[in-house]
A and B are shown apart, each in its own frame.
Chain A
Amino acid sequence: MKEITYRDALREALVEEMQRDETVFILGEDVGRYWGGAFKVTKGLAEEFGDERVRDTPISESAIVGAAVGAAITGMRPIVEIMFGDLTTLAMDQIVNQAAKIHYMFGGQASVPLVIRTPFGGGVNIAAHHSQSLEAWFMHVPGLLVAAPSTPYDAKGLLKTAIRNNNPVFFCEHKLLYPFKGSIPEEDYTIPFGSARVVREGEDITIVATMFMVHEALSAADTLKKEGLSAEVLDPRTLVPLDKEALVASVKKTGRAVIVSEGCKTAGVTAEIAAVIAEEAIDYLDAPLVRVAEPDTPIPFSPPLEKAVIPNKDTIIKAVRNIA
């Protein structure tokens, strides 16, 4: 095992898969030698693999994703970096109507082995155009797979799976997680999609959390432990497919669930997870489900305002206390 940041774990996955398969290449704005990606995930890759395989693009999100779709259906395995998750909106047609539908609509003649990596999340005071968490939008599109790693280990393992998968994968990253450290094995490994991880075992309540919120949930669980409440923390790791069995198994054990995710509450990630639990495990619930998410507002700039809308350890603890 070795200690590594989330950023470096992602980079290792990119490097290893590019070494393994010549058809894998990267394209995106400032991913190349002059910048190495806005969050430095692709730093050094142009030097290692050349500018042909690590392609800087103009600021043209729609064309970037469109070109990746075109390359993917003709024998290549492109990995797109969109600099901020908010800006995937500019490529929505290519993602939603093209990439996601080609395999089905053309009767299985082509597959679309495409990965779109992008960072979501708030917490750094860069306001409404750079702080959203739009994971739920992509969960709503049949044909897309959606990964959402919260640790370096998951980041590397899931990205490798994403690159090897023949379907378009929307790969969510989180700005606050890039410098976050964790341990990963030295040897090659992948993580299958649709397998949640019990991050911490507990008896009294299940906290389902995604991405950065996993870490907030863990600190909440620490505090609750001191008060004698044992919380289980479950990270779905991929949102599509969602590991329903793991959700149900945990709720069966604890009888209570709080669901935490960034992104707006209405029709958000927490809504889908709550619906799954309600449909499949309602008989095991001893209390109503509680969701912790952003209120339905844009993300404001000023620190006290931003802090007020993003869930954190304290809001999670409060939610837990409501039902346990």
Chain B
Amino acid sequence: MDDEGNGNLGNPILDRSRLIELHEKMLTIRVFEERVFELYGQNLVPGTIHLYAGEEAVAVGVCSHLLDDDYIVSTHRGHGHCIAKGARLDRTMAEILGRKDGYCQGKGGSMHIADFSKGMLGATAVVGAGIPIATGAGLSIKLRGTKQVAACFFGDGASNQGTFHEGINLAAIWRLPVLFICENNLYAMGTRQSQAMIVPDIAERARAYGIPGILVKGNDVLEVFKAAKEAVERARGGNGPTLVECKTYRRMGHSRMDPAAYRPRAEVDEWLRNDPIRRSKDELLRMGISDAELAKIEARVSDAVNTAAEFALNSPFPDSKEAFEGVYGQEGT
């Protein structure tokens, strides 16, 4: 029983209504990704896809602290980042399907969604390339003297690129308002993290740059929320960047065609049990949420994703002449 005597148990990090918001966002990403997977199976998604399913707590836990004018930089596994930052589901889906109403009019696709109106500075498919770009967004914030922050998502694999070293060091020496969010899903394609680096925790590397490094359970949205809060406060307060490592796991293969046979069964089972959405749901149940309330959330999410998919499927393909347009922007300022 909580103070109001209505069966709610409190949580020291988040109140119930806020946790419901986060839970709903994570569920939205999950259901969205399941729909993308389904559409891919129906040959409606060109190219390849890298699904975010399983890692939802990271994007949602971080982006829940960000305002519309804060920035994020994303990766090939970026659908969840877009949704967490507030991009519309329909235009995101349309981009993934290569349609005219997609955020990039079909020029970008799954690996390259951007929504500058929400501070989503785009997804790069070149692993590690986003890290210095986030540093640059942080530099711009500092030069313009605003209170914005920039968050950069990248994988365990990306943290072995030179850009990780160069980008974080630069942000550190200039004390830039940047959050370096490492989504450590333990694998880069088929390469285990332990094959690619000696240190068990990427957060440890923060010490080499003289910045704080925080290690969190990335499938626990409350933990991610708490760590991101600290990092955002540090950044907004002018006290420089933070490296946050979130240990997580992808529910599926690296890309659509990957059966992920390189992952031991027991490991997969353990991580699937440790699902972020299941955890937030359990926490909500502990706090006393009713089944009817949960069902309402699920129905809302399902409606939203259905509407988005319908919008995307009804959007036309771009006209082929558009391929030749937009290589350069307007000249002059």
Chain A interface residues toward B at CB < 8 A:
29-30, 34-35, 38, 56-63, 86-87, 90, 124-130, 295-298, 300-309
Task: Report B155-167 CB contacts with A as 1/0, cut-off 8 Å.
Answer: 0011011100000
Which A-B residue pairs are the 5 nearest by beta carbons? Answer: A301-B109, A302-B106, A302-B98, A34-B190, A58-B160
Taking a contact as CB atoms under 8 Å apart, the answer to whether B190 and A30 are in contact is yes
A305 to chain B: closest residue by CB? B323
Contact of A303 among B111, B161, B317, B319 (CB under 8 A): B317
Contact of A126 among B48, B197, B262, B320 (CB under 8 A): B48
Taking a contact as CB atoms under 8 Å apart, the answer to whether A34 and B191 are in contact is yes
If A35-B189, A298-B327, A303-B317 touch, whether A125 touches B46 (CB-CB below 8 Å) is yes
Interface size class for chain B? Answer: 35 or more
**B162: A residues at CB distance < 8 A:** 60, 62-63, 90
Taking a contact as CB atoms under 8 Å apart, the answer to whether B125 and A305 are in contact is no
Taking a contact as CB atoms under 8 Å apart, the answer to whether A305 and B161 are in contact is no
Q: Give Cα A29–Cα B125 distance, bound, in whole angstroms.
A: 15
Judged by a CB distance under 8 angstroms, whether B81 is at the interface is: no
If A30-B191, A62-B162 touch, whether A301 touches B46 (CB-CB below 8 Å) is yes
**A30: B residues at CB distance < 8 A:** 189-191
Taking a contact as CB atoms under 8 Å apart, the answer to whether A127 and B324 are in contact is no
**B127: A residues at CB distance < 8 A:** 59
CB distance from A71 to the nearest CB of B (A): 19
Taking a contact as CB atoms under 8 Å apart, the answer to whether A59 and B188 are in contact is yes
Q: Give Cα A130–Cα B126 distance, bound, in whole angstroms.
A: 9
Q: Among the interface residues B99, B158, B191, which one has the most CB atoms of the partner chain A within 10 A?
A: B191
B109 to chain A: closest residue by CB? A301
- CB interface residues, B 308-331, toward A, < 8 Å: 317-324, 327
**A60: B residues at CB distance < 8 A:** 160-162
Q: Give Cα A31–Cα B161 distance, bound, in whole angstroms.
A: 18
Q: Give Cα A126–Cα B109 distance, bound, in whole angstroms.
A: 8
Q: Give Cα A87–Cα B163 distance, bound, in whole angstroms.
A: 13
Q: Give Cα A128–Cα B318 distance, bound, in whole angstroms.
A: 16
Judged by a CB distance under 8 angstroms, whether B107 is at the interface is: yes
Taking a contact as CB atoms under 8 Å apart, the answer to whether B324 and A297 are in contact is yes
22 A-B Cβ contacts within 8 A?
Answer: A34-B190, A35-B190, A58-B157, A60-B161, A60-B162, A61-B161, A62-B162, A125-B98, A127-B47, A128-B108, A129-B112, A129-B126, A295-B323, A297-B323, A300-B323, A301-B46, A301-B98, A302-B109, A303-B46, A304-B318, A305-B322, A308-B321
Judged by a CB distance under 8 angstroms, whether B13 is at the interface is: no
B99 to chain A: closest residue by CB? A302
Given A126-B111, A128-B108, A304-B320, 10 other A-B contacts at CB below 8 A?
A30-B189, A34-B191, A127-B109, A301-B47, A301-B108, A302-B98, A302-B109, A304-B318, A305-B318, A305-B322
Taking a contact as CB atoms under 8 Å apart, the answer to whether A129 and B195 are in contact is no
Taking a contact as CB atoms under 8 Å apart, the answer to whether B112 and A301 are in contact is yes
CB distance from B141 to the nearest CB of A (A): 26
Judged by a CB distance under 8 angstroms, whether B299 is at the interface is: no
CB distance from A91 to the nearest CB of B (A): 10
Judged by a CB distance under 8 angstroms, whether B196 is at the interface is: yes
Contact of A124 among B47, B323, B324 (CB under 8 A): B47
Contact of A302 among B188, B262, B318, B327 (CB under 8 A): B318
CB distance from A252 to the nearest CB of B (A): 36
CB distance from A274 to the nearest CB of B (A): 22
**A125: B residues at CB distance < 8 A:** 46-47, 98, 109
Q: Give Cα A25–Cα B70 distance, bound, in whole angstroms.
A: 47
If A301-B109, A305-B107 touch, whether A296 touches B320 (CB-CB below 8 Å) is no
Taking a contact as CB atoms under 8 Å apart, the answer to whether B324 and A295 are in contact is yes
Q: Give Cα A132–Cα B197 distance, bound, in whole angstroms.
A: 30
**B110: A residues at CB distance < 8 A:** 301
Taking a contact as CB atoms under 8 Å apart, the answer to whether A301 and B317 are in contact is no
Contact of A59 among B112, B160, B327 (CB under 8 A): B160
CB distance from A40 to the nearest CB of B (A): 11
If A125-B47, A127-B111, A301-B106 touch, whether A58 touches B197 (CB-CB below 8 Å) is yes
